[in-house]
Structure 1
Amino acid sequence: MSRFLPWALVALCFVLGVASRSISDSFVVFVPALQGAFDASRSAVTVVYSFALLVGGTGAPIAGWILDRFGLRALTVTGMTAAALATASAAHATEIWHLYLGLGAVMGFAGASLSGVLSASLLGRWFPAHRLGVALAVAWSAAGVGAMVVLPAAQHMIAADGWRHAYTVFSLVSAAFVPLLLLLPWRQIARGAPGLAPVRAGGGKASGPTLGDAVRDWPFWALTLSFGLTSLGIFAIVPQAMVYLLERGLDGAYAARALAVAGFLTPLGMIGFSWLADRGGRRLAALLAYACSILGVGALALVRGPDDDLWLWLYVLLFGGSMGSRGPMISTLATLRYRGAHFGRIYGFISIGMGLGGFLGAWIGGLLHDWTDGYAAVLAFAAAALVLAAAALGAEAGERERLSR
C-alpha cells in the first residue's frame, strides 16, 4: 500500500483541484448568461472572477492555519464544503452581489483550501526532493487539464438547461466528495514517509521553522515576490489576449483555437519544467521558464495582422508552455525550506503574492490599455514583472542547489 500511496495522493490532489479551481475557472463560460440574467455590465460580472482570484490568495493563510491547527481532514472537508455551498448559492442567486459572495469569496476560499496549500503540505510529506517537483506539477496541472472537461460540460449544461442547472450539478458533485473525504485514512496519510514529515520533535515541541522565523529571512520574501510578480506579468496579458488578437484582424474561431492550444500546453510545461528542476537544474529550469514567457510576450507584440501566424504560434508555444510552470517550482522550494509543523501558515502567507498579483495584474493591465489606448504599455509591464520575478526565483533556486550539494 505504501508503495502506491504517494501517487494515489497526487491523484487525490489532482481531483480536488479539478473540483475547486476548474469549476471556478469555468466562470468564463457563464459570463454571457449571467450578464443577461442580472442585466449587468461585462465588468460588473467579470469582477466576480477577479474577486475569486484575490480571495484565493489572501485566504491561503487561513487555509494554512486550519491545516496546522486541525489537520488535513478538516482542511479538505472545509474546502469541498465551501465549493458546494458557493455553487449552490450561485444557482439560487437573485442579485449580482450574491455572486460576489458565493462565487467570489466562498469559491475563492475553496480554491485556497484545495490547491496550493493542501498539495504542498500533503505531497511534501511523501516525496523526496528529487521527485517532489513533478508530483506537485501533476497536482497543479489539475486546473488546466480539468478545464478541458469542465468548460465544455458547463457550456453544454447552460445551452441545454440553463446556467442555474449547471451550477446545481456542480454543487451536487462537490457535495458528493465530502463523505468520501471523511472516510479517508488521514492519520496514516498525515504521518508521511519516514524522515520527510517531522511534525513533532522530542518532548512534544513543534518542529520546523515558525512563521516568525520565515518572515525574518530573505527566502520567504523571494518566494512571495516570485508568486506576486509572476502573477502580475501573466494576468496583465491573459484576460486581454483574445481581444488583442481580434483587434489585429484574426478570425475569432482561429484565435480561440490558438488560445486553447496554449491552455493545453500549460500542464505539459508544468510537468516538463518541474522534471528538469528535480533533475538538479532548479535555477536553470526557473530561468528557462521565465525566458520562454518573456520571449512569448515579445512574439505576441509582433502579431500585427491575420497573416502573422509564425509570431502567433511562437506566442502559443512559449507563453502557453511556460505559463503555469512557476507555481510548482515555488511550491517545491517552499516545501523543501519550510517543511514542518508550521508549514501550512508559512506557505499560506507566501501564496498571498499569487492572489494579489493575479488581481492587480488583470486590473493594471486593463488600466494601462485604457490610458494608452493600446497594448504596448501592457506588454512592457508584463515583461518587466516577469524579469523581476525571474531574478527573485532564480536566486532562491540557486541557493537551494548550493544547499543540496
Structure 2
Amino acid sequence: MAVTTELRPSSGLGTWRTPLVIIICGCAIALLSFGPRSSLGFFVQPMSREFAWGRDVFGLALALQNLLWGLGQPIAGAIADRFGILRVMIVGALLYAAGLLLMRYSTAPLSLDLGAGVLIGFGLSGCSFNLVLSAFSKLLPVEKRGIALGAGTAAGSFGQFLFAPFGVAMIDNFGWQAALTVFALLMLLIVPLSLAIATPPSTSSNEPVGDQQSFKTALAEAFGHRSYVLLVLGFFTCGFQLAFITVHLPAYLADRGVSSQTGGWVVAAIGLFNIIGSLSVGWLQNKYPKRYILSLIYFTRALAIVAFISFPITTFSAIMFGAISGLTWLSTVPPTSALVALMFGTKWFATLYGFAFVSHQVGGFLGVWLGGIVFEQFGSYTPIWWLSILFGVLSALINLPIVEQPVARPVAQPA
C-alpha cells in the first residue's frame, strides 16, 4: 500500500494538515453529517399528524434516502478516488442542506420523497463518514489508522448523541420546520472543514508501478474474492437493523406510552455508547481477528433485540436497549473498512468500501420500508423485529470464514 505518496499535501494546501488536524476535522464532518439523518425519526409523528400521512409515507421517503445513499456511495467514492475528496464533499454538503430545506417545505409525499429521500440520500453519499474514513486511510500512516477509523465512526455516533435530544427540544419548542432549517444551516459547516481532509487526485505519476490498478480490474478482483463477498453480505444486516431502529424506534416507544423526551434520550444513548463501542473496536481490531469481532457484534445485537421485545417496555428497559445497541451500533464499520483496506490496499478504497456500503443501504432501505408497510398492515412492528434477529444470527455466521490477508496478485517478472 502506497502511504508515503498519499501523505504529501497537495500544492495548494500547504503543510498545516497534521494528522491531528486531519482527524479532528474529519471527525467534525462525521458528527455533522450523521447527526441530522439519525434524528429524522422524530419528525415522523409531527409531520404525519400535520399532513395526515401514514407511517408508510415517511417510511418510503427515508427508505429511498438509505437506498440512494448506498447507490451513490460507490459513485462518489470512485470520483473521490480519482479526482480527490474535496469537490465530492462540497457537493454532498450542499445537496444535504438543500434536502433538509425541501423537507421543511414539503406538503405532499412527492416533495418529501425528493427532499428527505433523493437529495439527502445523494448528499450523504458525498459528505458522510464513509468518505471521511477513506481520507483517513489515504492520509494517515498505518499505525494511526485503526484508532482514527474508530474515532471517525465514534464522531458520527456523537453527532447522534447531540442531535437526538437537540432535535426533540427544537421540535417541542420551535416546531419541526425550525428544527429542519437549523439542521440545514449546520450542514454548510462541512464545506470549510473538508479542506483539511482533501486528498490528491489519483494519477499514474504519483503511484508506484505495482499499484497502477484500473477501476474495472479492482472491481473484478474484489467481487471475485470470496472474503470480500462474505463481508458485503454480512454488512446488509447492519443496514437493515440500524435504519429500522433509527426511523421506527421513536414511534414504537411512543405507541407503548414512552414520552418523546425519553425516546430522544434512548436514541442519544445509542449515540453515546456507540462512541465507546467504536473506539473500543478500533483498538481491539489491532489485537484480535476482525472477523470474530464482527461476528460477536452481530450476535450481541440479535440477543439485545430478543430481550427488548420479550419484556414490558419501561423507561429503564428502553434506555438499556439504547445503551447495548449503541455498543454494537456502528462498531461494525472500523473492522469492515479495515478489512477492505487490508485485502485490496487504499488506491480504490472509497470505491470498494462504497460497494460494501451499497449492501448496507439496501438492507437499510428494506428495514425502513418494510417497517412502515408492516405497521400499516398489522398495526405492529413485531415481524420486523424478528426478521432483524434472524439476519443478525445469519451475519454472525457469514463473517466467520473471512480470510484476513491481502489478496494474492501476480507479480510482474523482469524481462
- Please give the range of the TM-score, normalised by the shorter of the 2 chains: 0.7 to 0.9
Q: 1:223 to 1:173 in 2, by over 3 A?
A: same
CA shift at 1:346, angstroms?
Answer: 1.8
User: Partner letter of residue 274 of structure 1?
Assistant: G
Aligned residue pair count: 393
Q: Decide which of 218, 222, 225 is 1:217's aligned counterpart.
A: 225
Which residue number corresponds to residue 18 of structure 2?
5
Which residue number corresponds to residue 380 of structure 1?
386
Q: Does 1:231 align with 2:244?
A: no
User: Partner letter of residue 57 of structure 1?
Assistant: G
Which residue number corresponds to residue 201 of structure 1?
208
CA shift at 1:105, angstroms?
Answer: 1.0
- Percent identical pairs in the alignment equals 24
> How far does the alpha carbon of each residue in 1:166-207 deviate from its partner, in whole angstroms, 9 at most, with x for none?
3333333333543564x5583xx5499xxxxx9623399447
CA–CA distance in structure 1, aligned partners of residues 104 and 380 of structure 2: 38
RMSD of aligned Cα (Å): 3.7
TM-score w.r.t. length of structure 1: 0.81
CA–CA distance in structure 1, aligned partners of residues 153 and 206 of structure 2: 24
Q: 1:232 to 1:168 in 2, by over 3 A?
A: closer
Contact persistence 1:121–1:335 (CA under 8 A): no
Contact persistence 2:65–2:120 (CA under 8 A): yes
Q: 1:370 to 1:337 in 2, by over 3 A?
A: same
Contact persistence 2:149–2:334 (CA under 8 A): yes
Q: Decide which of 323, 348, 360 is 2:329's aligned counterpart.
A: 323
Q: 1:269 to 1:227 in 2, by over 3 A?
A: same
Q: List gaps (5 residues or longer) in structure 1.
A: 193-197
1:158-173 matched pairs, under 5 angstroms: 158-173=171-186
Q: Does 1:362 align with 2:375?
A: no
Q: 1:364 to 1:35 in 2, by over 3 A?
A: closer
Which residue number corresponds to residue 105 of structure 1?
118
Q: 1:243 to 1:131 in 2, by over 3 A?
A: same
Which residue number corresponds to residue 6 of structure 2?
none
Q: Does 1:19 align with 2:32?
A: yes
> How far does the alpha carbon of each residue in 1:130-156 deviate from its partner, in whole angstroms, 9 at most, with x for none?
542331122122332112322333344
CA shift at 1:108, angstroms?
Answer: 1.1
Contact persistence 1:215–1:221 (CA under 8 A): yes
Q: 1:276 to 1:173 in 2, by over 3 A?
A: same
CA shift at 1:395, angstroms?
Answer: 2.6
SS in 1 for 2:188: helix
Contact persistence 2:164–2:264 (CA under 8 A): no
CA–CA distance in structure 2, aligned partners of residues 86 and 136 of structure 1: 28
Q: 1:227 to 1:116 in 2, by over 3 A?
A: farther
Which residue number corresponds to residue 152 of structure 1?
165
CA–CA distance in structure 2, aligned partners of residues 175 and 251 of structure 1: 32
Q: 1:154 to 1:393 in 2, by over 3 A?
A: same
Q: Decide which of 286, 295, 304 is 1:287's aligned counterpart.
A: 295
Q: 1:184 to 1:10 in 2, by over 3 A?
A: closer
User: Which segment is superposed worse, 212-221 or 36-45?
Assistant: 36-45
> How far does the alpha carbon of each residue in 1:343-391 deviate from its partner, in whole angstroms, 9 at most, with x for none?
3322221110111011112334555667777666444322221122122
CA–CA distance in structure 2, aligned partners of residues 270 and 70 of structure 1: 29
> How far does the alpha carbon of each residue in 1:291-325 deviate from its partner, in whole angstroms, 9 at most, with x for none?
32122123224314659x6x767644433321221
Q: Does 1:399 align with 2:404?
A: yes
User: Partner letter of residue 388 of structure 1?
Assistant: L
TM-score w.r.t. length of structure 2: 0.80
CA–CA distance in structure 1, aligned partners of residues 20 and 406 of structure 2: 25
User: Partner letter of residue 362 of structure 1?
Assistant: V
CA shift at 1:128, angstroms?
Answer: 4.9
Which residue number corresponds to residue 277 of structure 1?
285
1:168-179 matched pairs, under 5 angstroms: 168-179=181-192
User: Which segment is superposed worse, 136-145 or 247-256?
Assistant: 247-256
Q: Decide which of 269, 282, 305 is 1:261's aligned counterpart.
A: 269
CA–CA distance in structure 2, aligned partners of residues 106 and 252 of structure 1: 27
Q: Does 1:52 align with 2:60?
A: no
Q: 1:289 to 1:130 in 2, by over 3 A?
A: farther
Which residue number corresponds to residue 338 of structure 1?
344
SS in 2 for 1:170: helix
Q: 1:16 to 1:250 in 2, by over 3 A?
A: closer
User: Which segment is superposed worse, 380-389 or 348-357?
Assistant: 380-389
CA shift at 1:326, angstroms?
Answer: 0.8
Which residue number corresponds to residue 3 of structure 2?
none
Contact persistence 1:17–1:143 (CA under 8 A): yes
Q: 1:34 to 1:331 in 2, by over 3 A?
A: same
Which residue number corresponds to residue 115 of structure 1?
128
CA shift at 1:76, angstroms?
Answer: 1.2
SS in 2 for 1:299: helix
CA–CA distance in structure 1, aligned partners of residues 85 and 296 of structure 2: 34
CA–CA distance in structure 1, aligned partners of residues 42 and 80 of structure 2: 32
Q: Does 1:297 align with 2:292?
A: no
Q: List gaps (5 residues or longer) in structure 2.
A: 1-13, 409-415
Q: 1:271 to 1:176 in 2, by over 3 A?
A: closer
CA–CA distance in structure 1, aligned partners of residues 101 and 264 of structure 2: 30
Q: 1:95 to 1:315 in 2, by over 3 A?
A: closer
Contact persistence 1:299–1:314 (CA under 8 A): no
CA–CA distance in structure 1, aligned partners of residues 126 and 221 of structure 2: 24
CA–CA distance in structure 2, aligned partners of residues 126 and 26 of structure 1: 31
User: Which segment is superposed worse, 228-237 or 81-90?
Assistant: 228-237
Q: 1:382 to 1:46 in 2, by over 3 A?
A: closer
SS in 1 for 2:96: helix
User: Partner letter of residue 163 of structure 1?
Assistant: W
